[in-house]
Structure 1
Amino acid sequence: MKILGVIPARGGSKGVPGKNIKLLGNKPLLAYSIESAKKSSKLFEVIVTTDSESIASIAEEYGAKIPFIRPSELALDTTPTLEVIQHTLKFYQSRGEYFDAVCLLQPTSPFREDDLIDRAIEKFITTGADALVSVLPVPHEYNPHWTFESDSNGFLKVATGDEKLISRRQDLPLAYHRDGAVYITKSEVILQGSLYGTSLTYVESNPEHYINIDTPYDWEKAESFVAKQKRKL
């Protein structure tokens, strides 16, 4: 299966200004995702889609390809990731090159186990699903069978629609949340307007690597993680 690794990295960032090329440890944030992708033996090609020439230059230094500079209208705060990936596929199709699927790697989730991407691709291919996401287990106290919604009268009801709560933690079904590290979707599904399609599978990540950088506090956690990893060497 021919799978394109896509790393979106626009120039504008409000939560952590310039975060994609800000140094985390001794290298730009963007570099972590590029290096993860380069360790994969199953990605056909790894590209960065960006509207910034400076980001493009740094991405190339770390081994990613820059097939185009993304149009500014696709690099706004409000631009959906789906549209960015659709633009990428259409760019290649206009040049007669086609991919079976896209593996989306967000720079804001920089820490991945070395084999995570290839494990995800193997699961994606084996299941034949429309899409795959990397996930982590939901802590039992946040399990949807133990959470509530408020009705119009101010009364609580179980969020799942269950008539009564599951009383024992051991009886709760497993629940997962996306961790943002890996998304894989068939190209035809993306071009039809979805990242998930109608059949979605998953691969579990290592919870020790989970950091999604959106705020200065998240950045501090990432710096602590990098420092901890260096101490292990």
Structure 2
Amino acid sequence: MNNLSTPLEVTQFIMKILGLIPARGGSKGIPGKNIKPLGVKPLLQYTFEAAKASKLLTKVILSTDNENIVKTAKKIGLKVPFLRPKELAGDNTPSLDVILHALDFFEEKGEKFDAVCLLQPTTPFRKAGLIDEAITRFSEGNYDSLVSVREVPDDYNPHWVFEEKNGGLKLATGESEIISRRQDLPKAYHRDGAIYLTKTEVLREQHSLFGKNIGFIDTTGSAYVNIDNPSDWEAAEQLLKQK
């Protein structure tokens, strides 16, 4: 056995992780979004370049239903081992089903993975090293899953958010008293869509993308956009100019 020293080396030795980039062809908000040029590169290339730079992903592939996306992927060197069935490429297709389809494909060929790292092209800007930092934390913490998150501004903290009830309001947390001081608010986070890491056994046995023991990596402060509509695309273009 090799004498491993650093966390990255230990993680690499122990875990086989599939890097999965999902890119369906039926985007309605921005037609052809995944291969539309953002700056000088197609959108999905940003995510592929981040994945390719990882030392801890065992394999990186694209899952798509669209031949035009396949052509673009092959031009940039992104592997496309299968064409995703149309029934797994709808607006409401769960990410879990897309992941399980990829795992099934490889297991039929005798290749198994300990975990899957889902990397969505719609979050194109990831700081250098983020993927390997997330994988190391995921492995060391022995989490069921790990997600990338950003801090929720205090004004939107769930302890200060109300829900409607019988024509009135109640605290979204279910607490009877509101936290009055900003300094006493606990930190709250929202998923940013950049990284979802999940153990294969959790995906299969719990049929869940998260499981019960969820780790996180905080990306607050780094460049961020999650592209869903034309205004998001404009924000991404502005970020590129700033960078």
TM-score (norm: length of structure 1): 0.96
Q: CA deviation at 1:190?
A: 1.1
Tell me how large the CA RMSD over aligned residues is.
Answer: 0.9
Pair 1:225 & 2:243 matched:
no
Find the counterpart in structure 1 of residue 56 from structure 2: 42
Residue identity over aligned pairs, in percent, reads: 58
Cα distance in 1 between the residues matched to 2:55 and 2:75: 20
Match of 1:173 in 2: 186
**Paired positions, count:** 228
1:156 paired with 2:169, answer yes
- Indicate the residue corresponding to 1:63 in structure 2: 77
Per-residue CA deviations over 1:74-113 (Å, capped at 9, x if unaligned) read: 1111211110000000110111100000000000000000
Match for residue 93 of structure 1 among 107, 110, 121: 107
**Which among 114, 129, 141 is matched to residue 155 of structure 2?**
141
Select the residue among 202, 205, 210 that pairs with 2:224.
210
Runs of 4+ in 1 over 3 A off after TM superposition: none
> Aligned partners of 1:63, 1:199: CA distance in 2, in Å?
35
Q: What do the CA deviations read for 1:44-99 (whole angstroms, capped 9, x no partner)?
A: 01000001122112112222211101111111112111100000001101111000
- The 8 Å contact of residues 127 and 222 in structure 2, kept in 1 or not, is answered as no
In terms of mean alpha carbon deviation, does 206-215 or 188-197 score higher? 206-215
Which sections of structure 2, spanning at least 5 residues, go unmatched? 1-14
Give 1:150 shift. 1.1
Comparing 130-139 with 71-80, which one deviates more in the overlay?
71-80
Q: TM-score, normalised by structure 2?
A: 0.92
Partner SS for 1:208:
coil
2:30 equivalent among 4, 10, 16: 16
8 Å CA contact retained: 1:35, 1:62: no
Alignment partners' CA distance in 2, 1:76 and 1:110: 22
